[in-house]
Amino acid sequence: MARRDSPPLHTPDGRYIVVRGRLWRAANPHLSAEVRATLVRALMAARRDVKQARAGNDADALRAARARVHAAKVGLGERGPVWWTDGAPDLGRREIDDTPYADWYRERESSVAPPSDPPIQLSGVT
């Protein structure tokens, strides 16, 4: 499993990231860096507003903040119409084992070797 601060695992076609064995639609790679950065800033601000609205128990503010989260995610291509054009369905939010990516994922996971740290040597302990 990837560490929280490591980049997410992307499927070979770049359409999804894998988080805890589930597919999540990746952002549209065709967005310009400027547009992507603007949308990510809007998304992060909206997420902070969701947190604040929850803490303040403000249902109207929560609804508005969630709408802004949704709008930013649609703009990024993570929700709404798919950004690819080959007619493939959206498999987002599905367990990867229930998708055409299952074999790729199992193969990848089995090829990742566990860490091989040398044993700790303690003096005077046998």
Instruction: Please tell me whether the overall predicted TM-score, pTM, comes out greater than 0.75 for this model.
Output: yes
Phi and psi (nearest 5°) for 23? -85, 135
Q: Where are the domains of the chain?
A: 9-111
Please name the residue that has the structure tokens 């860490």.
115
Q: At what angle do helices 59-76 and 33-55 cross, to 10 degrees?
A: 160
The pLDDT assigned to 109 comes to 84
Task: Walk along the chain (126 residues) and give the pLDDT tens digit of each residue.
Answer: 455 668 899 999 999 999 999 999 999 999 999 999 999 999 999 999 999 999 999 999 999 999 999 999 999 999 999 999 999 999 999 999 999 999 999 998 887 656 655 666 666 655
d(CA 94, CA 90): 9
- CB contact at 8 A, 7 and 19: no
CA 98 to chain centre: 18
